[in-house]
């Protein structure tokens, strides 16, 4: 079977979203289609992520399909996780679907798991791809920002501000659990930006005795309510709620924000970042860069090899960790 190569690069370019959804995916899809068309590519859309790639759920990207999606949260292309993609026979089936349409380039909007899957696909069939980082955890190595983070933080901010109204009205303690199984970025930034008294994340050791002593002293000086932001990965939300009741003698309540954090219309920041990432992805493919991940570092856009993402561990911003540490002790 003939493999694609940069020397006979097909003008077909397909865009897909994969992994967890995040606001900003739809603007990235729209801009990728429009910019690819301007650069001479024939754009296609892959629905249902890796599953759609296997099942041939691929259509030409008409203007109608990309109209009116800029303001929508989630992904109109839908997403999925596919165990079948780990099997060579199904990857070959996916390749044949692309080959039949003359698609020789892919843009995948998602996280490191999606990038790894497409990297294996490249190793098998030499179909170049460009990755656009999109995950609300903001935990992809090599880039300071991932699509959807700003929108998720604003969704959390709105919820925390509303909860604060009740906390102050009834002199209560509220524990607010946010997403983040392995990364506490959302919890940390939300705690700092909302003025929370407690923040528990996987990256910082916590000391409840120290926190208790601090808050008891603050209560003596007039504190009437407490806000605690907890990353789900700590598995401390319920325990902390009971601890606040027992240790501070306060009526404590737990609010789990859950998937509300993923939704919502993309913020202006996420829309602009989506456009810039999309342009960088198309340019990367146009230049013959076969398997690069788009990045935003120190205020500039660029790219890194897929190995940088799959071969390294994400490191939290040291300055943010330093600011957040007092909220865990």
Query: pLDDT digits over 96-146, tens only?
Result: 999 999 999 999 999 999 999 999 999 999 999 999 999 999 999 999 999
Q: Architecture of 149-263 per CATH?
A: 3-Layer(aba) Sandwich (3.40)
| Alpha-carbon distances of 235 from 239, 302, 305, rounded to whole Å | 8, 36, 34
Domain ranges of the chain: 6-148+266-311, 149-263
Strand ordering across the sheet containing 12-17: 58-60, 42-46, 12-17, 103-110, 129-133, 291-297, 300-305
Q: Do 149-263 and 6-148+266-311 have the same topology in CATH?
A: yes
Instruction: State residue 1's pLDDT score.
Output: 45
* Interval 217-257: pLDDT, tens: 999 999 999 999 999 999 999 999 999 999 999 999 999 99
Give me the chain's average pLDDT, please.
Answer: 95
Which residues are marked as active site?
A: 137
pLDDT tens-digit readout, 257-277: 999 999 999 999 999 999 999
Specify the CATH architecture of the domain 6-148+266-311. 3-Layer(aba) Sandwich (3.40)
3-state secondary structure 172-213: CEEEEEECCCCCCHHHHHHHHHHCCCEEECCCCCCCHHHHHH
pTM for this predicted structure: 0.94
């Amino acid at each position: 079977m003939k493999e694609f190569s940069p020397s006979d690069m097909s003008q077909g370019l397909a865009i897909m979203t994969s992994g967890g959804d995040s606001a900003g995916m739809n603007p990235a899809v729209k801009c990728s289609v429009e910019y690819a068309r301007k650069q001479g590519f024939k754009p296609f859309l892959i629905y249902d992520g890796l599953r759609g790639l296997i099942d041939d759920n691929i259509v030409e990207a008409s203007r109608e399909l990309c109209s009116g999606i800029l303001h929508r949260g989630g992904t109109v292309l839908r997403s999925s996780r596919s165990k079948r993609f780990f099997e060579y026979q199904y990857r070959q089936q996916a390749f044949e679907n692309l080959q039949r349409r003359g698609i020789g380039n892919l843009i995948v909007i998602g996280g490191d798991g999606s990038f790894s899957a497409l990297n294996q696909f490249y190793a098998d069939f030499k179909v170049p791809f460009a990755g656009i980082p999109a995950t609300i955890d903001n935990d992809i190595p090599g880039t300071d920002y991932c699509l959807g983070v700003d929108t998720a933080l604003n969704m959390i901010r709105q919820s925390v501000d509303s909860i604060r109204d009740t906390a102050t009205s009834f002199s209560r303690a509220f524990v607010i659990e946010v997403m983040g199984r392995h990364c506490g970025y959302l919890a940390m930034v939300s705690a700092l930006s909302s003025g929370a008294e407690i923040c528990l994340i996987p990256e910082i050791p916590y000391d409840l005795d120290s926190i208790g002593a601090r808050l008891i002293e603050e209560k003596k000086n007039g504190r009437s309510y407490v806000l605690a932001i907890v990353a789900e990965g700590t598995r401390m939300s319920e325990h902390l709620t009971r601890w606040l009741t027992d240790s501070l003698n306060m009526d404590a309540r737990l609010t789990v924000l859950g998937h509300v954090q993923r939704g919502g219309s993309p913020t202006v920041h996420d829309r602009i970042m989506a456009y810039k990432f999309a342009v960088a992805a198309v340019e990367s493919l146009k230049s013959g860069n076969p398997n690069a991940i788009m990045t935003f570092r120190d205020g500039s856009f660029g790219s890194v090899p897929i190995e940088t993402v799959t071969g390294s561990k994400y490191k939290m911003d040291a300055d943010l960790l330093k600011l957040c540490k007092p909220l865990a002790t």
